[in-house]
Amino acid sequence: MTLTLVGLSHHVAPVELRERVTVDLAGAARLARSLGDAVCLSTCNRTELYVDGIPDGAVLAALEELAGESLAGVAYRLHEDAAALHLFRVAAGLDSLVPGEGEILGQVRAAYESVEAGALLDHVFRQALAVGKRVRTETAIGESPASVSSAAAALAGQVFGDLTGRRVLLIGAGRIGELAASNLASRGAEIAFVANRTLETARELAHRFGGQALTLDETAARLGEVDVVVSSTSAPGPVLHASDVPAKRRTPLFFIDIAVPRDLDSEIARLDGCFLYDIDDLEAVVAETLAGRRAEAERAEELVAEEADRFRAWRASLDVVPAIASLRARAEEIRNAELAKLKGRVSDDERRTIESVTSQILNKLLHLPTIRMKEAAVSADGAAYADAVRHLFGLEDEAKS
């Protein structure tokens, strides 16, 4: 078993590249199954493939097929302990664009549950979910703004100073859109319109905030009536183009695109009085809010490190546990063979006494070597100890026969 991670994220790739490798949950599951024993985690900030026993090159090639270009100088590759530590930090929200954001843990769970993971991936993802939950319950790293949606609202607040009375058009009525609406409304903004592919879904969200529901086709006609446009659909391409923006409108008109792939035509930024920000632009907001949560982040890193140590110990034990089991099986085999020679030569009571005594001797002889091997399992010497035991007792010869 070999744990490998190949991926790219907001740390190494711009949104223009990330959006080309982003796939929905069903697509991520198909991609993982096409590789073999794999889990694909694809969000607006990252697309990562965690695999067991699959060559790096094959995994990278799968990402490059999505990207339509070479990713050799961009994608990162991590193995074993480093890959596990990275996953634990991701699940804990420590590697997110907005550190501590709450959505990522659910996304990790969904990716894991979308496939039938093998023993190694099953173990490491279960650990990741456990540490992610611990970080959320034992630290306050998730305090506001703890999501891309809340950071987007904070950015709007920076631009306008005061959002009271500012009218918002929300494009996309999913979970991210709902969070964006809540955060904007909490800052005094008016959710004037909610546009969505399914009108009934738009009505449900618009009703909560006293706004009006629109279809996506009706969006352009309302742009002149709002100050802020926040878009977060799962559409495969732009839902709003520069040509849709009317000449007569409020100034400034502030656009926030928190979708990947992007919802808003990049040419909108060229229009007079229009300001367009995408998900990468939220990093400045994050940097300002992170300072107050630095102590909590340090505590979260400690929890992640503890889990990484547990994974390391478990992974190392895979080398020595089979050797311990083989040694005990070999010793028991020898004991039983010698006991068999006593058949007919001793009474039943004498045989039971001999069996008990030899069993105790065997256990006492193997106790200390077993302890030493388990202790060595958490160090770099674990595999060496296991190999030495196999060699000294001829266990590798048995495995071959």
Digit-coded pLDDT (tens) for 158-187: 778 788 889 999 999 888 888 888 888 888
The mean pLDDT of the chain is 86
Q: Which amino acid is at 20?
A: R
CATH number of the domain encompassing residue 182: 3.40.50.720
One domain for residues 153 and 128: no
Residue 249 binned pLDDT confidence (cut-offs 50, 70, 90): confident
Cβ–Cβ under 8 Å, residues 110 and 129: no
**Pairing mode, strands 167-171 and 190-196:** parallel
- Residue range(s) defining the domain that contains residue 380: 320-400
Question: Residue 4's pLDDT is what?
Answer: 95
Long-range contacts of 354-361 (CB under 8 A, 24+ apart): 359/335
Q: Angle CA(364)–CA(368)–CA(373) in degrees, nearest 5? A: 135
Q: Give pLDDT, residue 169.
A: 95
Query: In terms of domains, do 362 and 265 share one?
Result: no
Is residue 48 within a helix (H) or strand (E), and if so which, with residue range? Answer: strand 46-52
Q: Residue 252: which H helix or E strand, with range?
A: none
* One domain for residues 73 and 193: no
Q: Are residues 152 and 263 in the same domain?
A: yes
% of the chain residues with pLDDT over 90: 47
Q: Are residues 126 and 15 in the same domain?
A: yes
pTM over 0.85: no
Contact 102, 136 (CB under 8 A): yes
Both 125 and 76 in one domain: the answer is yes
What pLDDT sits at residue 248? 85
Q: How much is the pLDDT for 192?
A: 94
Rounded to whole angstroms, how far apart are CA atoms 219 and 213?
10
Q: Which pLDDT score, from 0 to 100, does residue 37 have?
A: 95
User: Looking at the structure, do residues 174 and 268 belong to the same domain, yes or no?
Assistant: yes
User: Where does a domain end: 96, 119, 138?
Assistant: 138
Q: In what order do the strands lie in the sheet with 167-171?
A: 212-215, 190-196, 167-171, 228-231, 253-257, 274-278
117 with 213, same domain: the answer is no
248: which 2 tokens? 């007569």
pLDDT (average), residues 382-387: 71
Higher pLDDT: 30 or 316? It is 30
| Under 8 Å between Cβ of 261 and 66 | no
Please indicate, yes or no, if residue 152 is contained in any of the structural domains: yes
The predicted structure's pLDDT at residue 47: 95
Give me the residue label for tokens 């930024």: 269
Query: For position 288, what pLDDT does the model report?
Result: 65
93 and 152 in a common domain = no
pLDDT in tens, 28-42: 999 999 999 999 999
Q: What is the pLDDT of residues 57-114, one digit of tens each?
A: 999 999 999 999 999 889 999 999 999 999 999 999 888 877 777 788 999 999 999 9
What is the C-alpha to C-alpha distance for residues 162 and 353, in angstroms, rounded to an integer? 88
Whether residue 155 sits in one domain with residue 119: no
Residue 312 domain flag: no
Q: What is the CATH number of the domain that holds 74?
A: 3.30.460.30
- Residue 105 covered by a domain: yes
Q: Are residues 116 and 205 in the same domain?
A: no
Number of compact structural domains in the chain: 3
Does 293 or 257 have the greater pLDDT score? 257
* 314 within a domain of the structure (yes/no): no
Q: How confident is the model at residue 303 (pLDDT cuts 50, 70, 90)?
A: very high
User: Of 138, 173, 192, which closes a domain?
Assistant: 138
Q: Write down the catalytic residue from 3, 44, 169, 297.
A: 44
Residue pair 152/186 in contact (Cβ under 8 Å)? The answer is no
Active site residue 44: yes
pLDDT at 287 over 70: no
* Confidence grade of residue 400 (pLDDT, cut at 50, 70, 90): very low
**Is residue 301 assigned to a domain?**
no
Chain segment 326-369, per-residue pLDDT in tens: 888 888 888 988 888 888 888 888 888 999 999 999 999 888 88
> What is the rounded average pLDDT of the residues 141-159?
72
86 and 181 in a single domain? The answer is no
Band (284; pLDDT cuts 50, 70, 90): low
pLDDT reported for residue 49: 97
**Within a domain: residue 300?**
no
Q: Is 308 a member of any domain?
A: no
* Assigned domain for 303 exists: no
Give the mean model confidence (pLDDT) for residues 125-144.
86
Q: Which of 261, 282, 303 is the last residue of a domain?
A: 282
- Report DSSP state, residue 240: B
pLDDT at 231 over 70: yes
